[in-house]
Amino acid sequence: MSTVHIPFLQTGTLAVGGRLLDDAERSVQSQADRPSSLTRGHRACQGCAEALAARWVMDTAVEAADGRLVVANATGCLEVFSTLYPESAWKPPWIHSLFANAAAVATGIASSLHAQGRDDVRVLAQGGDGGTVDIGLAAVSGMFERNDDVLYVCYDNQGYMNTGVQRSSATPPSARTATTPAVGRQPGAPQGTGKSMVKIAMAHEIPYVASATVADLRDLEAKVRTAMSIHGARYLHVLVPCPLGWGSSSSESISLSRAAVQSGIFPVVEARAGELTDVQRIRERMDVEAYLRPQARFAHLFKPGGEDALNRWRALAEANIRRYDLLGGRP
């Protein structure tokens, strides 16, 4: 992992900061004068992890780019809650065009800057899973294939949340959404669905692909810094719990991310040129229940008849643990 290693100071690497840290060891988010690229007053729901992840990513990218960063945003929650006309919650230069074309817009900006000899200005594109995995996939894939100099960040909340929680192709199996109700023999989203955008990105063999969560700030910041140190197409996939769509408490967005990682459901990885280079090991193993039970969209897994689906979740976690060696050889 490209995570900074912090000596034992009460809280080690897991907390945002710490009064005993040297300045060089401080995370961007622990700085009193951090950029706060996404300002207060935005209209994200209470406990929105996407708003949190976007500030974390953007602040690190702004620092890495020395303040010279342009952002293209796909349609989605992030765009809607941050830019209610005539207000904007963004500090960096920011553009929204269409749902499907954030990657293409970013490519255009990057090419234009390059043509003007402004290689000091960096370009970041971002969207939700709808704008990335479904509607914008062609543009994203094209940007990857051409190795355009863009960092594309997907904030994955596993559904179309701002339009009323419809299923996306990133919605995991058995999740209840407005379009996959928890009724019938196989309630919720069908089994075997849900794309892995991380694997799709890796298949393009672009210079850098990584996944991260809001449960590990230092890991996320380190990945953004690594991505910003590289030119060409880069992809970062961040899991962002959605209290509205997942039916979880607004205070649980961090702890659910933690449970997703510690249960093996969401592998936190890094890959270069299509090859897996690092994985974040499980620190304290949790059962999938720790992740699933707090979410109302999975409530039917804990009712009679839900056992099969629950076991499939366990199998999924086991498969991830095996595939990515998430326990690092431990039993």
Partner 1 sequence: MSGHDAPPTLGLSTGPATSLSYHTGTWRTERPVYVDLAPPCSLACPSGEDIRSWLGSTQEGEAGFETAWRRIVAANPLPAVMGRICYHPCQAACNRGEVDEEVGINAVERFLGDTALERGWALPVPTASSGRRVLVVGSGPAGLSAAYHLRQRGHDVTVREAAAEPGGMMRYGIPAYRLPRTVLAAEIRRIEATGVRIECGVRVDSLDDAQAEFDAVVLTVGAGVAHHVDIPAGAAAKIVDAIDVLRDVASGNAPLLGRRVAVYGGGNTAMDAARTARRLGASDAVVVYRRTREQMPAHPTELEDAVGEGVRVQWLSTISEVSGPTVTIERMELDESGRPVGTGVFEELDADTVMLAVGQEADLSLLSGVDDVDVRDGVIAVDPGTLMTGRDGVFAAGDASPGSRTATFAIGRGARAAAAVDAWLASRVLPAEPVVREAEASRLNAWYYSDAPKQHRAELEAARRVTGFEEVLAGLDAEHAVFEARRCMSCGSCFECDNCFGMCPDDAIRKLGPGMRYEIDYDYCKGCGICAAECPCGAIDMIPEER
Nearest to 248 by CA among 61, 92, 47: 47
Q: Which residue, 55 or 237, is less far from partner 1 as judged by CB? A: 55
Given candidates 255, 287, 316, 321, which one binds partner 1 under the rule CB under 8 A?
Answer: 255
Provide, rounded to whole angstroms, the least separation between the CB of residue 39 and partner 1. Answer: 6
Q: What is the CA radius of gyration of the chain?
A: 19
> What does the alpha-carbon distance between residue 258 and residue 266 come to, in Å, rounded to a whole number?
9
- 190: which 2 tokens? 């069908």
> What does the alpha-carbon distance between residue 122 and residue 64 come to, in Å, rounded to a whole number?
9
Q: Residue 12: left (phi > 0), alpha (psi -120 to 50), or beta?
A: left
214 belongs to the binding site for partner 1 (CB under 8 A): yes
Given candidates 3, 88, 97, 196, which one binds partner 1 under the rule CB under 8 A?
Answer: 88
Provide, rounded to whole angstroms, the least separation between the CB of residue 241 and partner 1. Answer: 11
112 belongs to the binding site for partner 1 (CB under 8 A): no
252 belongs to the binding site for partner 1 (CB under 8 A): yes
> What does the alpha-carbon distance between residue 54 and residue 78 come to, in Å, rounded to a whole number?
8
Q: What crossing angle do the helices spanning 49-64 and 217-228 adopt, rounded to 10°?
A: 40
The separation between CA 84 and the C-alpha centre of its own chain, rounded to angstroms, equals: 23
80 belongs to the binding site for partner 1 (CB under 8 A): no
17 belongs to the binding site for partner 1 (CB under 8 A): yes
DSSP assignment of 8-24, as one string? -SSSTTSSS--TT--GG
Q: Which residue, 78 or 140, is less far from partner 1 as judged by CB? A: 78
* Ranges within 169-208 binding partner 1 (CB under 8 A): none
Site string for partner 1, 29-68 (x = CB under 8 A): xxxxxxxx-xxxxxxx-xxxx-xx--x------xx---x-
Provide, rounded to whole angstroms, the least separation between the CB of residue 48 and partner 1. Answer: 5
Provide, rounded to whole angstroms, the least separation between the CB of residue 159 and partner 1. Answer: 18
Provide, rounded to whole angstroms, the least separation between the CB of residue 150 and partner 1. Answer: 19
* Residue span binding partner 1 (CB under 8 A) among the ranges 123-131, 156-164, 242-250, 311-319: 242-250
For 274, what's the count of Cα atoms within 13 Å in the CB-facing half-sphere? 7
Q: Which residue, 75 or 257, is less far from partner 1 as judged by CB? A: 257
Report the side by side order of strands in the sheet with 122-128: 94-96, 69-73, 122-128, 151-156, 234-239, 208-213, 269-272, 275-279
Q: To which residue do tokens 């960040």 refer?
A: 153
* Contacts for 237 with CB less than 8 Å, ≥ 6 apart: 153, 154, 156, 197, 198, 201, 209, 210, 211, 212
Provide, rounded to whole angstroms, the least separation between the CB of residue 45 and partner 1. Answer: 8
Provide, rounded to whole angstroms, the least separation between the CB of residue 141 and partner 1. Answer: 29
Given candidates 247, 249, 293, 325, which one binds partner 1 under the rule CB under 8 A?
Answer: 249
Provide, rounded to whole angstroms, the least separation between the CB of residue 211 and partner 1. Answer: 19
Q: Which residue, 66 or 308, is less far from partner 1 as judged by CB? A: 66
Q: Which residue, 198 or 217, is less far from partner 1 as judged by CB? A: 217
Size of the site for partner 1 (CB under 8 A): 62
Asked if 292 and 266 count as a contact pair (C-beta separation under 8 A), the reply is: no
Nearest to 52 by CA among 81, 24, 32: 81
Provide, rounded to whole angstroms, the least separation between the CB of residue 36 and partner 1. Answer: 5
- Which residues in this chain contact partner 1 in the complex, by CB under 8 A? 8-20, 27, 29-36, 38-44, 46-49, 51-52, 55, 62-63, 67, 82, 84, 86-94, 214, 217, 243, 249-255, 258, 284
